[in-house]
């Protein structure tokens, strides 16, 4: 299975692509879609086209997107939500199923600590995918989202679901 992870941002949207075969996770690609300065509409268009190009190039089977957190600044939260919407629109137009995960879920899945910092997440992504160097920050976050989906899509998570249990806010519910 090929998973596309996305870390949405109004200025920089990270993407990461991994292949999953049983317990093996293999790095395929990662990078950032940098939007032009200026009007939001041009940024949204850039994100939409950029994600569509990534989907066309790497042909993922499924996508995973980080859920937007509420920021102190409502305007920033709104812009981030619009960027996330653009990324999700590109995925929906490509008929990809989408998994959604909070930052807490991603950090717990990758690092084992929901309060891990970006550096810890990046180091664990590098270790889990056996990378020679650290990916760009936003790309590392996107790879972490893809790894989270791989973990949640594993047999153990399916077994929990068959028992009527789920993970909510990083906790078994």
Q: Look at residue 118 and give its three-state secondary structure.
A: helix
Angstrom CA distances, 143 to 38, 41, 109, stand at 28, 27, 12
Phi, psi of 93, rounded to the nearest 5 degrees: -65, -25
What pLDDT digit, counting tens, does each position of 50-73 carry?
Answer: 999 999 999 999 999 999 876 778
- The catalytic residue positions are 7, 66, 138
Average pLDDT over residues 106-120: 88
Q: Look at residue 14 and give its three-state secondary structure.
A: strand
Residue 147 in this model has a pLDDT that exceeds 60: yes
- pTM greater than the 0.85 cutoff: yes
For residues 148, 150, 6, 70, the Cα torsion angle rounded to the nearest 10 degrees is -30
pLDDT classification of 170: cutoffs 50, 70, 90: very low
Residue 78 in this model has a pLDDT that exceeds 70: yes
| Token duo for residue 56 | 């066309």
Q: What is the mean pLDDT of the chain?
A: 88
Instruction: Identify which of 34-43, 74-83, 121-130, 153-162 has the greatest average pLDDT.
Output: 121-130
Over pLDDT 70: what percentage of the chain?
88
Residue 113: per-residue pLDDT: 83
| Token duo for residue 173 | 């519910």
Residue 160: per-residue pLDDT: 47
């Amino acid at each position: 299975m090929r998973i596309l992870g996305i870390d949405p941002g109004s200025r920089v949207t990270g993407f990461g692509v991994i292949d999953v075969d049983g317990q093996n996770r293999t790095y395929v690609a990662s990078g950032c879609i940098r939007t032009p300065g200026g009007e939001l509409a041009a940024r949204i268009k850039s994100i939409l086209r950029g994600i569509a190009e990534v989907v066309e190039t790497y042909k993922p089977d499924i996508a995973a997107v980080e859920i937007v957190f509420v920021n102190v600044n409502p305007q920033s939260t709104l812009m981030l939500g619009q960027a996330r919407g653009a990324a999700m629109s590109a995925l929906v137009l490509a008929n990809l199923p989408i998994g959604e995960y909070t930052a807490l879920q991603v950090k717990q899945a990758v690092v084992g600590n929901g309060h891990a910092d970006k550096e810890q997440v990046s180091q664990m992504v590098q270790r889990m995918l056996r990378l020679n160097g650290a990916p760009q920050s936003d790309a590392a976050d996107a790879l972490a989202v893809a790894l989270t989906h791989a973990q949640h899509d594993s047999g153990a998570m399916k077994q929990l679901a068959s028992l009527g249990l789920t993970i909510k806010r990083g906790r078994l519910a």
